[in-house]
A and B are shown apart, each in its own frame.
Chain A
Amino acid sequence: MTTLQRKTHPRTLSRFATALITAAVISASAQAVAQDDDPIKVGILHSLSGTMAISESTLKDTVEMLIEQQNEAGGLLGRQIEAVVVDPASNWPLFAERARELLAQEEVDVIFGNWTSVSRKAVLPVVEELNGLLFYPVQYEGEESSENVFYTGAAPNQQAIPAVEYLINEVGIERFALIGTDYVYPRTTNRILEAFLKDEHGVAEEDIMVNYTPFGHSDWQNIVSEIRRFGEEGKPTAVISTINGDANVPFYRELANQGIDAADIPVIAFSVGEQELSGIDTAPLVGHLAAWNYFMSVDTDANYDFIDAWIEHTGDEMSVTNDPMEAHYIGFNMWAEAVRKAGTTDVDAVKDAIIGVTVPNLSGGYAAMMPNHHITKPVLIGEVQDNGQFDIVWQTPSTVAGDAWSDYLPGSRDLIADWRKPMECGNFNVVNGSCGGSTAAEEAEAALAE
């Protein structure tokens, strides 16, 4: 002790004092800033009532949990974060109104929200007009890239295309039944898949069956029996399901009752996750597949910590986690990282700072924000287990970067999105070298209007 004291040089002492004073000044000024400034406001735009409440209400809880964790860790830029929750009530026009309320009146710094593509399309013009930030956490049909939206869910090339390649290469499937709910996501995805199957794998027209059903369809007897006959022709057959929401339970029930087993005709679903399965008795569904970028059964410590935190937050031992929740986890951390990098929550600064930001995902890898506002994700294929969980049977060797414009559709093949300077364009046509040369966007609009 004494030797140490004796050795202390006067210059070191003065240096130490300066450092102390500087630190005090900085912390004082930081406090002053924090006192002047209101907390950082995060808008949550998820339906808490109406038909979509089933899926969206857990995402609201997820963002609230993430905000709590961030605040416990000292907030962001020394400021606390405050959640502003609104309820668009599963009503698409109301989504636009609530988004306007969040941006114009509440003046939130960022919005996490939306589930259906229709609601996103409704919010899009508002977010662009008022220059907001929107993090969209659900897998979607692609064919879009907005300056103000960050797509943390999967684009078709991060879910549908690898899933079909898995079926062809690993399972040896030769016949495909594309079954979906009648709206923009299944129709666009199935168009991409049909083109992909025919052009890339030479699947004949007669080996593809396409069928659409209304929202909430509950009588699947005829369609399932048709699928059964379609699969009885001697070629290995699979169903690719883009059936949305509530219609899945009666569909899977009918499959089980008509004795269609996953080993005979596997169904691979793009919209069925742990949460949807929690409403079904899964014993008869064992072996059916789902393609996602995250499963609750992922065997990493980061995931177990996330699950523990989630169970603690909800207070329900049996509550499950799912893919869009992971997307919010990634999106929130990316935004926080970008704010830290930019040193401000200013929208334009964050928008520039976030491109290239890399944060850990829950499956043991990293997600990076690409210039087209999509992120890199691993693609996982899981088989349903009798406890409502998925067993991961296959995954891409590395992460896949989201592609805003599909390579398999004629209108969008030549388009790319790049929001870095100097291009700053969401639909740049590489053939004629101009921005805004999109026919696919118009087609998507037309499909939406139908």
Chain B
Amino acid sequence: MRRFLSLGLLCLMLLGTALTAQAQSSSSTPDDQAALALLTALDVDSYRDKGDAITAILQSDDERARDWLQALLDGRLQRTDDGRFVLVLDNRGRDWPVADALTNEPLGDMSRRDLDRIGINNALRNQLRSAIAVVDLYSPNVERRRTSADRLLGEVDGELAETLAPVIADAEDEYVRTRLAQAVAIYRAEQGDMAGVEALTGSLHPRARVALGRAANSDDAVVADAATAALAGIEQQLKINRGLETLYFGLSLGSVLVLAAIGLAITFGVMGVINMAHGELMMLGAYTTWMMQQLLPGQPGLALILSIPAGFMVAALVGIAIERGVIQFLKGRPLETLLATFGISLILQQLVRTVISPLNRTVVTPEWMSGSLVINDALSLTLNRMYVLGFALVVFAALMLIMRRTRLGLEVRAVTQNRAMARSMGIRATRVDIMTFALGSGVAGLAGVALSQLTNVGPNLGQNYIIDSFMVVVFGGVGNLWGTLVAGLSLGVINQVLEPWAGAVLAKIIVLVFIILFIQKRPRGLFPQKGRAAEG
């Protein structure tokens, strides 16, 4: 115990001297020559030599080392034609603003022709990340320490394990301590060490599993048995996690289907208009998101939130134009409506191609929507899809409220059940038609805003969803919003459960065949309209 303590003290002292050394080097800048030599060593063709140069920078104790390594990792460390090293501040377009790598002084814009990037490959990227992680272990920033501890899982070798021992003992942060202990345990288990195997029992991290797998083949029978038992327990845990993951995938796919179909459930389900241009209304919603991001550069999150009302308005206005311009003249003629709206969908697609571009547009995902929510080492839920799932539920709830609790909803139900009677009661049926179609189209626009975060924003966006939307509405029962919700979510889950063993192509076919058979048995879908509504 005492020996352990003294070792820790020694390490602390070492660390202290390292820190003062850093402080000293920051006050004295005549070592620019040395710094230049360090950077020049990076400017070679062989990736192996670059790796050595990175190690040299890491050992140099230069306070700018971390910045250089980070810039090298990001591909922003470049050499000019006259042999200076610069940090590129923004690498979009043809001319890039740069700053001197040694002094951090801005040097203005430079042309791509005059700059040579110091290239790295994936192996060096790994090396750089590990190097930065080791530097960051001593960072005052707790977030950096945590990322660094995560990074070191499975990266520990004998030398690093010894360096880590005092760090673990001193770690203030609980998360950093357990993570680092785990990292060391992975190394020990791989060496066939019993304590390591015990420490890893119940850990779901893939590296832990690999380490246990190696320990299970160990010569020491006791260690091998313990590792095998630990693995069996982990497998059990993983199965549960996998099931939860599939469920989440299914609900997430289902929420996309619901969003795409819910507007159609109103125009097709409630009003009975077959609108083949529904997908293109979604496309317009997605393009509105792109447009908003162009108008508000640098604020993708704000733009995304603003595009929720904007997307609704744009799609609703186009919906009104379609209704007034075409559909009202084709009332009660479904075949002609189908053909006319299909024509509109082609016109809208080509319009976008000609006016904006046939190429896909980049819609940036805001910071708070990227990445995933980590539940444990084997289960993490992607954030963008979680937001879309929540958004779908909110849109659904709002629509239910409108249809059940507002005057508009009442009038819509009255007009669709008995148009003549509703009119004789003083309801302006034409106005209700316009409002309903605008509502359904607007919701399609909302779906487009959400889809811009999941898939391509391009002229073909709508085409990919129109079949699925009709499928969900018909399966759920025409005219029933609850049916659409249940149908969308269940089709999503069925699809995702089938996909791992049937493959994506076959899973889709099976779902379609299932729906065909289901419609044969129950032509009115999951939740058929009952009573008078059904007669309309």
Contacts and interface: CB of A to CB of B under 8 A. Distances in A.
A17 interface: no
| Chain A CB within 10 Å, residue with most, of B245, B350, B365, B382 | B382
B117 interface: yes
Given A232-B206, A256-B370, A250 B456 contact: yes
B213 A234 contact: yes
Contacts of A21: none
Given A250-B454, A387-B91, A232 B209 contact: yes
Interface string B107-139: 000000100110101110110010000000000
A53 B209 CA distance: 47
A171 interface: yes
| Chain A CB within 10 Å, residue with most, of B123, B246, B360, B364 | B360
A246 interface: yes
B383 A257 contact: yes
Given A212-B505, A278-B359, A287-B125, A318 B93 contact: yes
Q: What's the dominant secondary structure at chain A's contact region?
A: mixed
A141 interface: no
A57 B358 contact: yes
A450 to B, nearest CB: 12
B81 to A, nearest CB: 12
A226 interface: yes
Contact of B455 (A49, A171, A250, A393): A250
B372 A257 contact: yes
Given A211-B503, A249-B455, A391-B75, A258 B464 contact: no
Interface string A257-286: 111001100100000000110111100101
Given A218-B455, A219-B253, A275-B359, A259 B380 contact: yes
Contacts of B454: 218, 250, 253
Contacts of B298: none
Interface in B62-118: 74-75, 91-94, 113, 116-117
A141 to B, nearest CB: 19
Contacts of B372: 257-259
Contact of B92 (A212, A232, A246, A387): A387
Contact of B359 (A54, A253, A317): A54
A53 B508 contact: no
Interface string B490-505: 0000011001100111
Given A257-B382, A279-B361, A49 B350 contact: yes
Interface string A231-242: 011100000000
Contact of B122 (A234, A254, A257, A287): A287
Contacts of B456: 218, 246, 249-250, 279
Interface in A72-88: none
A262 B121 CA distance: 10
A12 interface: no
Given A232-B209, A232-B210, A284-B370, A391 B385 contact: no
A386 interface: yes
B288 interface: no
12 contacts: A53-B459, A218-B454, A232-B209, A233-B210, A246-B460, A249-B455, A250-B456, A257-B372, A257-B382, A263-B129, A279-B359, A393-B121
Given A219-B256, A221-B385, A391-B117, 17 more contacts: A51-B460, A213-B504, A213-B505, A219-B495, A221-B249, A222-B504, A232-B206, A234-B210, A246-B460, A257-B371, A258-B382, A262-B125, A278-B359, A279-B361, A279-B456, A286-B74, A317-B93
